[in-house]
């Protein structure tokens, strides 16, 4: 049975202010919770008896656990269709060293606003072996429940850092790749094995401060070149195309 206080806590974590205050985020569903359990221990779990029986050996005894009914799960879930388990995990605290971009590719997100895009971009980073994503303070919180669900467990492997983005990029001694409408065809440019790939806001693109720091301007051309098409690509799709091209070059 789940108490009213725990229901209130879970519901409150829809708000960024409460997540920051409690240092907790919500994850739901066997797939997502299972991925996160492989990398971190939860603070609290509310689960159907069947899920708990199969997974209790993965959880330390210090974790508070409620086995609940389907009706209780539906009452507390933040999803339209509840999925067996809800877990509260501590928000990880990472320290970002910009020098790491001199050895590997990092993603930088400048003002991404949609939680679905944010979570999908993290999933893309995970797929293409990018371990660090740095975000401007204006970027949506990755621990927003919708963003967490969209990561499909990538949070277990990708570190997310919220920083003053221009201050991180300005002194760095590596390439800063930015996707811009006045950029050069990505398929004709030399792409390195390390540096920052910067993706901008869904509507406005890169901020002026970040745009001025880009050292390699890239553009994803439409096909056939010069024909009339949609105005732009979704930022998550564009991120996938850019990351795929970087990795393709490294494997060829």
Q: Is it true that the peptide bond before 224 is cis, omega within 30 degrees of 0?
A: yes
Check whether 231 has a pLDDT greater than 80.
no
Torsion of CA 61, 63, 67, 73, to 10 degrees: -160
From 101, 96, 129, select the one nearest 194 (Cα to Cα).
Answer: 101
Classify domain 4-90 by CATH architecture. Answer: 2-Layer Sandwich (3.30)
pTM summary value: 0.93
Nearest to residue 150, comparing CAs of 139, 142, 161? 142
* Res. 252: pLDDT tops 70: no
pLDDT at residue 242 is higher than 70: yes
Cα–Cα dist 88/4, whole Å: 16
CATH 3.40.1280.10 domain extents, the chain: 98-251
Residue intervals in the chain for CATH 3.30.1330.30: 4-90
Res 31: pLDDT: 95
Which architecture does CATH list for 98-251?
3-Layer(aba) Sandwich (3.40)
């Amino acid at each position: 049975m789940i108490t009213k206080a725990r229901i209130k806590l879970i519901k409150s974590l829809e708000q960024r202010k409460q997540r920051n205050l409690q240092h907790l985020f919500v994850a739901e569903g066997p797939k997502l919770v299972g991925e996160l359990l492989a990398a971190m221990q939860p603070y609290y779990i509310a689960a159907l008896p069947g899920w708990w029986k199969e997974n209790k050996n993965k959880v330390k005894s210090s974790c508070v656990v409620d086995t609940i009914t389907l009706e209780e799960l539906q009452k507390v879930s933040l999803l339209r269709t509840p999925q067996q388990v809800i877990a509260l995990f501590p928000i990880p605290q990472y320290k970002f060293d910009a020098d790491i971009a001199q050895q590997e590719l990092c993603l930088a997100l400048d003002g991404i606003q949609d939680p679905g895009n944010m979570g999908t971009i993290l999933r893309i980073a995970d797929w293409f072996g990018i371990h660090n994503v740095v975000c401007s303070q204006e970027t949506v919180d990755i621990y927003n429940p919708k963003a967490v669900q969209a990561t499909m467990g990538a949070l277990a492997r990708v570190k997310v850092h919220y920083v003053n983005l221009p201050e991180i990029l300005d002194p760095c001694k590596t390439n800063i790749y930015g996707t811009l409408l006045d950029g050069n065809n990505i398929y004709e440019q030399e792409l390195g094995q390390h540096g920052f790939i910067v993706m901008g806001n869904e509507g406005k693109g890169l901020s002026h401060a970040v745009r001025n720091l880009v050292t390699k301007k890239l553009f994803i051309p439409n096909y056939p070149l010069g024909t009339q098409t949609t105005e732009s690509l979704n930022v998550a799709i564009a991120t996938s195309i850019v990351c795929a091209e970087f990795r393709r070059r490294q494997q060829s």
